[in-house]
């Protein structure tokens, strides 16, 4: 059935679900090393508090008293001396963590991130603990016992404070991903007087050891390609790794080539690797499923926050503009004074599908589907996982996911003046496809297959190995 013109117009602008707005203009492109004068620091706290109160998805019924008190206490703690920008950001995230929303956070702007010195180590944190995933500063697979003066229990507490989160899986994953970065290391006091970072670890020989790591400019690993694939013909298995859910030409081309190779080789099992995927555009999930011949399933619904501050930035969400569209589709109009309203799942799924009109991927017939997930599977990658789980489309393999099953998303980036940070603001609540399944703090995999120091040191991958054996 052809949709009315106003419905099509709404679909063109609604959401994109859990996708970031365009990067803001930088105020100061430093790695949080500059200082923020007292007045500007207090203004930053006021700005974040006001924005959360007026526009956060979780504040439609008022700001939580714990958050309100924590903002007031932080403002009072700011002294007369200028405050390091990294300290202000950490203090704000300590407050925002009380909202139990992994999307609501103060984050370093992208260009500023590029200025950060780092230790040349890639860390990972799974159910097997904190360990070295890669890099050159420590043995790959080494189990980390302490960083600076902080043992693992202390690092666990720091992760919970520094990373706004809904569950410990995201807090651990994100903390480990940032742990090599200068501003994170300064925040936890891990940089010694000599400018180096002391790490205690256990190597593959089982013996404890120590190292002193030097911060280096440009020490970050090269960015991972947005998508890549590999095939195991003997096991009739194809793996499509997606690092970010962004509807870019490179991803579309990789999906097209992968689907064609699956057909050409007669591959029986397909694994979509979403481990460490921070999300982006949920229409990518629809594109991948369509490429795999899967088109019939229930989508997720979206509860949109309404406020004057939000409508100034997102006028398309104004109930006055949306109600005629709802009525044209046979839905009840939205009350004019509503502080939030629900976009039903079919309308959301229709919007996502419409964005794929120009994505030319010849679909294959359905294959046995696996999703590889972990604590770094987040935002739209979580929604992808929920589509698969709640519609019984495939098997989840790996570790518990970094979001709750209902979570806040549909984000805006808002500059925090006089700092190189921005407030990542979640403005809508995303509700899982199967409401009968109920909310949960995470989505557990069907098959637990975590990375560990031993498997990383051996160069093996338990999740992929499981799929190959099926």
Q: What is the DSSP string of 339-372?
A: SEEEEPHHHHHHHHHHTTTT----PPPP-EEEEE
Q: Classify 425 as helix, strand or coil.
A: strand
CATH H-level, domain 16-116+222-465: superfamily = 2-enoyl-CoA Hydratase; Chain A, domain 1 (3.90.226.10)
Q: Give the pLDDT of residue 88.
A: 97
Q: Give the pLDDT of residue 360.
A: 86
Q: Give the domain 117-217 fold.
A: Pdz3 Domain (2.30.42)
Q: Give the pLDDT of residue 270.
A: 98
For residues 192 and 90, the answer to whether their CB atoms sit within 8 Å is: no
The pairing of beta strand 143-147 with beta strand 237-242: unpaired
With vertex at residue 229, the alpha carbon angle to CA 224 and CA 231, rounded to the nearest 5 degrees, is 145
């560990």: which residue's tokens?
Answer: 452
Question: CB-based contacts of 132: which residues, under 8 Å, 6+ apart?
Answer: 121, 122, 123, 124, 138, 139, 140, 141, 142, 144, 201, 453, 456
Per-residue pLDDT of the chain (470 residues; tens, 9 = 90+): 344 455 554 544 444 444 434 333 334 457 998 999 999 999 999 999 999 999 999 998 889 999 999 999 999 999 889 999 999 999 999 999 999 999 999 999 998 998 899 999 999 999 999 999 999 889 999 999 999 999 999 999 999 999 999 999 999 999 999 999 999 999 999 999 999 999 999 998 899 999 999 999 875 667 889 999 999 999 999 999 999 999 999 999 999 999 999 999 999 999 999 999 999 999 999 999 999 999 999 999 999 999 999 988 888 889 988 999 899 989 999 998 899 999 999 999 988 888 887 788 999 999 999 999 999 999 999 999 999 999 999 999 999 999 999 999 999 999 999 999 999 999 999 999 998 898 999 999 999 999 999 999 999 999 999 999 99
What is the Cα–Cα distance from 264 to 270, expressed in whole angstroms?
Answer: 14
Q: Give the pLDDT of residue 29.
A: 54
What is the Cα–Cα distance from 414 to 44, expressed in whole angstroms?
Answer: 11
- State which H helix or E strand residue 429 sits in: strand 421-431
pTM for this one?
A: 0.93
Q: Give the pLDDT of residue 16.
A: 44
Where, residue-wise, is CATH 2.30.42.10 in the chain?
117-217
Where, residue-wise, is CATH 3.90.226.10 in the chain?
16-116+222-465
């Amino acid at each position: 059935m052809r949709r009315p013109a106003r419905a099509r117009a709404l679909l063109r602008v609604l959401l994109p679900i859990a996708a970031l707005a365009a990067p803001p203009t930088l105020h100061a492109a430093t790695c949080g090393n500059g200082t923020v004068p007292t007045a500007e620091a207090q203004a930053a706290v006021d700005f974040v508090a006001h924005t959360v109160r007026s526009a956060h998805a979780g504040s439609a019924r008022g700001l939580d008293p714990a958050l309100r008190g924590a903002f007031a206490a932080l403002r009072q703690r700011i002294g007369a001396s200028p405050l390091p920008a990294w300290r202000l950001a950490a203090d704000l995230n300590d407050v925002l963590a009380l909202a139990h929303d992994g999307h609501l956070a103060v984050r370093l702007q992208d260009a500023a991130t590029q200025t950060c010195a780092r230790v040349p180590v890639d860390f990972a944190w799974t159910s097997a603990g904190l360990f070295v995933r890669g890099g050159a500063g420590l043995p790959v697979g080494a189990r980390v016992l302490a960083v600076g003066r902080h043992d693992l229990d202390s690092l666990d507490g720091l992760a919970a404070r520094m990373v706004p989160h809904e569950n410990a899986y995201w807090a651990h994953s994100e903390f480990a991903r940032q742990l090599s970065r200068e501003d994170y290391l300064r925040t936890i006091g891990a940089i010694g007087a000599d400018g180096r970072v002391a790490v205690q670890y256990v190597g593959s020989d089982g013996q404890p050891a120590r190292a002193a790591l030097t911060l280096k400019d440009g020490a970050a690993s090269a960015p991972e390609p947005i998508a890549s694939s590999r095939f195991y013909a003997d096991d009739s298995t194809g793996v499509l790794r997606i690092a970010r859910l962004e509807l870019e030409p490179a991803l579309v081309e990789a999906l097209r080539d992968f689907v064609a190779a699956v057909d050409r080789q007669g591959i029986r099992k397909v694994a979509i690797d979403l481990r460490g995927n921070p999300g982006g555009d949920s229409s990518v999930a629809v594109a991948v499923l369509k490429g795999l011949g899967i088109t019939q399933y229930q989508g997720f619904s979206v509860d949109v926050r309404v406020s004057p501050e939000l409508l100034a930035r997102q006028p398309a969400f104004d109930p006055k503009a949306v109600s005629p569209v709802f009525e044209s589709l046979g839905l009840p109009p939205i009350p004019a004074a509503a502080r939030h309203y629900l976009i039903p799942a079919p309308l959301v799924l229709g919007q996502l599908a419409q964005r794929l009109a120009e994505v030319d991927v010849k679909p294959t017939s359905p294959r046995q589907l696996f999703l590889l997930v972990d604590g770094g599977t987040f935002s739209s990658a979580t929604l992808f996982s929920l589509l698969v789980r709640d519609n019984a489309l495939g098997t989840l393999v790996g570790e518990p996911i970094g979001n709750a099953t209902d979570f806040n998303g549909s984000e805006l980036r808002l500059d925090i003046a006089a700092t190189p940070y921005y407030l990542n603001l979640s403005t809508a609540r995303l509700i899982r496809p199967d409401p009968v399944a109920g909310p949960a703090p995470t989505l557990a995999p069907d098959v637990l297959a975590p990375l560990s120091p031993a498997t990383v040191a051996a160069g093996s991958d338990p999740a992929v190995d499981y799929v190959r054996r099926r």
